[in-house]
Structure 1
Amino acid sequence: MITESPHIPQERAEAVLDPATYSDWDGALDQFDWLRDHMPVGRMVASDDSFEPFWLVTRYEDVMRISKDNAGFLNNPRPVVFASKKMTEFSLAATGSNMLVDSLVVFDAPVHMKYRKLTQEWFMPKNLKQLEAEITALAEKTVDRLIANGPEVDFVQQVAAPYPLHVVMQILGVPEEDEERMLFLTQQMFGGQDEDLSGSGMADMTEEQIIQIVSGSVTAFETYFAQVTAEKRANPTNDVASVIANAKVDGAPLGDREMAGYYIIVATAGHDTTSASTAGAMQALAQDPEQWARVREDRSLLPGIVEEAIRWTTPVQHFMRTAAEDCEIGGVPIAKGDWLMINYVAANHDPAIFDNPRSFDAARSPNRHLAFGAGAHQCLGLHLARLEMRILFNALLDRIESLELAGEPQRAKSIFVGGLKTLPLKITAS
């Protein structure tokens, strides 16, 4: 049981768990600023008993500590992404697990590293260098299409969504004709709370409807990748899907559920987060034409653009951890078995670490953001994400002289993985 502690006011607790809060980014940051200042480690309790109580952790140093201490703060046995009691009960009934998907983000040591090592080399810089020419060609083709559809475009639909999707699907060995389906299922899985991304068109969905949408996307992914597994076992090729399909852990092939989870985490997190960071960078640069002009002239600023975009947007907004032992965080006692939310949005906008954190600063240095996590669970695809963004922005800077907003950007309603769902721009080709 959670020990007595600072109790987060109900209206603020409800805001943290309301997907609509994250569609109003400044409003969300306002909430986290207040929490970080007044109760950086606070107790979240449902007034209607709809979720298990947990600790909300919002300061950078505390989030960093928990992220790096993978022995002290476990990904299991409780859900690693916030889930209501209804969602957890549904998952247990449907799968026997408290998570709909068993993937790398769920496993603890020693199992986690055994699975991570299966594909880790694929995502290291040495191997990714072999893909640079192919990714560059795709980036140039993507920018060609953007300019052809201009001058007014939705950057998310034209670039931010399809470009990283295609890169990851090529690595996975998924045919191009199936990419649109993969994008839709990803949006349902991560954006099931949003009427546009879920495909429901319903602004006010019940929890049961959201659960059905998310679980339906997981089932569709599992069915699709079961077919991929059969094909890659019969005819292995030089791609990640073949590695997963034919992998062994402790001398035995991966179980169906673990294999499906591996495919799903690569297929979804591998592009949706990069999409969000890419769109966020373009939004910031469209709002600051002088910064766009500076980086056009001085490409040494480009790595800073990429890193700042990832911090500024923070696509993965939280993860949950379970305390392995009694401990103390920020002066607050935490009991063994307590559930915690480490909030990356709050941590990446902590003014104790980042000067003027709401501003987009390509020259920000150092920029030790937590958008990729830290420790053993640091994002497997971080080198790929940086490479994709660097190559794309080089192509954009080569071909686009100036840009400005052509309407109000819209952000997804989601408490887990978030980002822009529309970004109307007016571009001027060079």
Structure 2
Amino acid sequence: MSLPGNLASAAGIRLGMAGAALGAAGRLAVRGGRAWMGDAAGRGARIAALLGATDTQRQAFALLRAVAPNLALSRRLVAAYDNTGTVIVTRHADVTEVLERESDFAVVYEPKMRAITAGENFFLGMQDSAAYTRDVAAMRLAMRREDVPRLVLPFVAQRAEAIVAGSGGRLDMPQDLTLPVLTGLLGQYFGTPGPSSAEMAAWTTRMFWYLFVDLRGEEAVTRPALAAAEACRGYLDGVIAARRAAPAGTDQVLDRCLALQAAGVPGMDDLGIRNNLIGLLIGLVPTLSKACVKALDGLLDRPVALAAAQAAARADDDAALAALLWEALRFDPVNPFIYRRAVRETVIARGTLRARRVPEGTMVLAANLSAMHDPIALDRPQDFRAGRGAEAYMLWGYGMHTCFGAHINQAVIPQMLKPLLRREGLRRAGPVDGAGTPFPVHFPLAF
């Protein structure tokens, strides 16, 4: 395209952003007014529900991208970790910049990771270091890419199909399908089935909530999470000791970790194995269950996309099905932002009109939900368009701390949803219900 053409295109995009911002401002004003009106006793709950709604967040980000793309606040929006204030980053280029600059914007999870493990950190809470490289490399040896088609997907496909086929045309998706399949995978693939499926689901969900979702540092979240961590540690310590004393002859992640231990691989003592397993189990169960619910819920809102997903499922076209699911999650991802803390004073978007000085200690909220709807980076992001390039999807993080199991996530989600999508007449039998938690606890379906 010529220079005049490029300038015209850029101007058009920015005019579109301005128009979208005006529309978003109007919608936010109307929704805020409705939440404020009515009985005062329920006002706080209505406002909290409004702010927690993904569509409200998309509208707010549309406004910020045009008016204040890197918004600095003196208020500490994240109270669970030490910080001096907040910067909300909304443009795709700036979100990726923050997540790429690990030496300037650090992960903050270490104190809570140490509380979960009763002393040690896990690589998700580490900066780039020898310990980080050691632990990630060792777990890559224990969890291999070739395991996904050979071990993971056959189990998920068989278990999900059996559940759906035996459901009688009605099921509660988290309780009857996603959580049982995922906790079953912990036993089949990792070698850590837990005392029961229900206990493993509860333990991992409470710990995930404490680590990544509880931004206020609430005692009501901390207490059950630390109790779950203590129980999980005790269980894993026992499983590791028993497996080492009496090898099962299986080829599970736990067996491989013990083989690495026997070979003298650093960081693979019993404590290291246990801590790495805790981190991985926490990341698998609640994340994938929530992602499956959100993806299907998004398809059910879009009849054309749902029909395309059902056709792909019936044709065993996993690539086409995955493309539709990722697009649904682009509109409603598991998390709307990823937070980091500035380890020194620095600047975001240096050399641009939106450059923002970030003082040391500031918590930076890199809004991946906003980045995935930035019209400067994506063509017509307001449209549901499956098959966008990989750069359009920031569903599993970005940079050094991209989800360790992203390749498992990308394979398991379509496989777990495929049996449902093959059924005729798939429909909601009730709303998604978090039961007072940030996770989908109930989602009744019929078919």
Q: Give your verdict on TM over 0.5.
A: yes
Which of the pair has the greater relative contact order for Cα pairs under 8 Å at 6+ separation? 1
Kindly provide the amino acid, as one letter, of the partner of residue 292 in structure 2.
T
Displacement of 1:385: 1.3
Taking the TM superposition and a 5 Å limit, the aligned residue runs for 1:127-276 are 127-131=147-151, 132-146=153-167, 148=168, 150=169, 152-175=170-193, 178-191=196-209, 207-236=218-247, 237-244=250-257, 247=260, 252-254=266-268, 258-276=272-290
Taking the TM superposition and a 5 Å limit, the aligned residue runs for 1:31-430 are 31-46=60-75, 52=83, 53-75=85-107, 79-80=108-109, 95=115, 102-110=121-129, 111-131=131-151, 132-146=153-167, 148=168, 150=169, 152-175=170-193, 178-191=196-209, 207-236=218-247, 237-244=250-257, 247=260, 252-254=266-268, 258-298=272-312, 299=317, 301-330=320-349, 331-354=355-378, 357=381, 360-365=384-389, 368-398=392-422, 400-411=423-434, 419-427=439-447
**Partners of 1:173 and 1:239 within 8 A in 2:** yes
Unpaired segments of 5 or more residues in structure 2? 1-31, 33-43, 350-354
**Partners of 1:23 and 1:413 within 8 A in 2:** no
Task: State how far apart, in whole Å, the 1-side matches of 2:435 and 2:402 are.
Answer: 24
Which SS does the other structure have where 1:161 is aligned?
Answer: helix
Which SS does the other structure have where 1:105 is aligned?
Answer: helix
Displacement of 1:323: 3.3
Task: State how far apart, in whole Å, the 2-side matches of 1:71 and 1:64 are.
Answer: 14
Which SS does the other structure have where 2:386 is aligned?
Answer: coil
Displacement of 1:336: 4.8
User: Given the superposition, is the C-alpha separation of residues 276 and 309 from structure 1 closer, same or farther in structure 2, using an over 3 Å criterion?
Assistant: farther
Kindly provide the amino acid, as one letter, of the partner of residue 57 in structure 1.
V
Displacement of 1:106: 0.7
1:224-283, Cα deviation, whole Å (9 max, x unpaired): 212122123323442222344565599544577654431122112112211122112211
Task: State how far apart, in whole Å, the 2-side matches of 1:108 and 1:48 are.
Answer: 23
Displacement of 1:105: 0.9
1:396-422, Cα deviation, whole Å (9 max, x unpaired): 333x023222233235767xxx55333
User: Given the superposition, is the C-alpha separation of residues 318 and 412 from structure 1 closer, same or farther in structure 2, using an over 3 Å criterion?
Assistant: farther
Which SS does the other structure have where 2:171 is aligned?
Answer: strand
Displacement of 1:181: 0.6
Task: State how far apart, in whole Å, the 2-side matches of 1:154 and 1:389 are.
Answer: 17
Task: State how far apart, in whole Å, the 2-side matches of 1:45 and 1:255 are.
Answer: 44
**Partners of 2:142 and 2:256 within 8 A in 1:** no
Query: Once superposed, what is the RMSD of the aligned Cα atoms?
Result: 3.8
Displacement of 1:138: 1.6
1:83-104, Cα deviation, whole Å (9 max, x unpaired): xxxxx6xx59x8599x987222
Which SS does the other structure have where 1:283 is aligned?
Answer: helix
1:352-403, Cα deviation, whole Å (9 max, x unpaired): 33456566543444553111122222212111112112323333333x0232
**Partners of 1:304 and 1:363 within 8 A in 2:** yes
Aligned counterpart, 1:85? none
Greater helix content: 2
TM-score by length of 2: 0.73
Kindly provide the amino acid, as one letter, of the partner of residue 254 in structure 2.
A
Kindly provide the amino acid, as one letter, of the partner of residue 442 in structure 2.
T
User: Given the superposition, is the C-alpha separation of residues 213 and 137 from structure 1 closer, same or farther in structure 2, using an over 3 Å criterion?
Assistant: same
Task: State how far apart, in whole Å, the 1-side matches of 2:232 and 2:55 are.
Answer: 34
Greater strand content: 1
**Partners of 1:166 and 1:176 within 8 A in 2:** no
Unpaired segments of 5 or more residues in structure 1? 1-10, 82-87, 199-204
Q: How many residues align?
A: 383
Displacement of 1:216: 1.9
Displacement of 1:182: 0.6
Structure of larger gyration radius: 2
TM-score by length of 1: 0.75
Displacement of 1:48: 11
Task: State how far apart, in whole Å, the 1-side matches of 2:366 and 2:414 are.
Answer: 28
